Every structure is written in C-alpha cells, then in structure tokens.
Amino acid sequence: MKELFINILRPFSFLPAILIMYAIFTLSGQPGETSADLSYKVSYKIVEMKSRLANEYKDEYQLAYEAERIHGKVRKLAHMTEYFCLAIAVSFPFYVYGLRGIPLMLVAGVICVGFAGLDEYHQSFVAGRGPSKRDVAIDSVGIFFGILAVRIFCWIFLLLLPKKRRRR
C-alpha cells in the first residue's frame, strides 16, 4: 500500500516546477512597459528601504534617480532568481529519485535552459519585448547555482543520515 501511495504521488513532485514555469511564462507575457514598470517599482522600494535603514532621508527625486541607476541590475537579478528557483524545483525531485552527479546537472540543466530559450522566443510575440541571448545566459547562471544548491544540500543531508538508513 505504501509503495502504491508513493507511486501515485511521485508525478506530483514536479508540480512546484510546473507552477514556477507558469509564473515565469505569465511574467514574460506582460507587455514591455508593464514589465519595466513592475521592476522599476521593485527598484524604487529597494532604494527607499536602503534610505530608511541608513537614515539618509532622501527626497523623491533622489530616490527616483537611484532607482533608475539600479533598475537594470534588479531586472537581471530577477531573471537569475526565478531560474534559480526553477532549477531547484526541477533538480530536487530528480535527485530524490536517484539521478545524481553530472547526469542530474545535464538533465535539469537542459530542461531549465531549454525553457529559458523557449521563454525568450515567447517574448518575441509580446508587445515591447524581444528575445535575448544575454537573458538566457543570465538565466543559465541562476540555473547552475540552483542545481549546485540542490546537490550541496542533498550531499550534506546524506552525510547526516545514519549509515543504516542510507543503504535503503
């Protein structure tokens, strides 16, 4: 009965990856102006929070200037972060089901980088957006570190397990 239950639930382990893919695809479907406005608001909040924490008391114009300066970096960091999360959501189930080492990196990497490429192609059909090889490269950095994080986390977890449990 336990094995039947596990086999039924196994396909659902990829549900987080599918949900993250859906979120990425939805964000990429936003027109260029909407996407830029959203990331600018995030940049502004970051600068505003930094100003408050440092007790700098900057006015709106100074905050807007600083937000504009970091806006591009925030957009690229968002790319890396969303693909970092996707790589974790794709890699972890594969690792748990026995795919390890270089094969894990290849399979999860191909799935995630392939999705990044398809997502950039999808953007070519969205108003004010276009495909970018540079964005795929930036996404790939997040993917690499996501897969690496899963490998390190699972490696440490396996070291902490008692040897009797590890053999199963």
Condensed to tens digits (0 to 9), the pLDDT of residues 44-71 reads 999 999 998 988 888 899 999 999 999 9
Residue type, 148: L
What pLDDT, on the 0 to 100 scale, is given for residue 158? Answer: 77
pLDDT of residue 163: 65
- The mean pLDDT value for 120-149 works out to 94
Nearest in space to 71 (alpha carbons), one of 34, 30, 43, 38: 43
Instruction: Tell me the pLDDT band of 12, cut-offs 50, 70 and 90.
Output: confident
Mean pLDDT of the region 100-119: 95
pLDDT above 80 (res 78):
yes
Q: 10 Å Cβ neighbour count for 116?
A: 23
In angstroms, the Cα distances linking 126 to 16, 30, 41, 71 are: 25, 7, 21, 21
The candidate with the shortest Cα–Cα distance to 89, out of 155, 21, 10, is 21
Mean pLDDT of 83-95: 94
Q: For the whole model, what pTM was predicted?
A: 0.86
pLDDT band at 107 (very low <50, low <70, confident <90, very high): very high
pLDDT band with cut points at 50, 70 and 90 for residue 31: very high
DSSP annotation of 12 reads G
Top-confidence residue, 162 or 96: 96
Question: Could you say which DSSP state residue 97 is in?
Answer: T
Q: Say whether pLDDT at 166 is over 70.
A: no
Task: State the angle between helix axes of 60-96 and 15-28 in degrees (0 to 180), rounded to the nearest 10.
Answer: 150
Helix (H, G, I), strand (E, B) or coil at 55: coil
Among candidate residues 37, 96, 91, the one with its CA nearest the CA of residue 68: 37
| Residue 1 reports pLDDT greater than 70 | no
Task: Using alpha carbons only, give the angle 42, 44, 46 rounded to the nearest 5 degrees.
Answer: 70
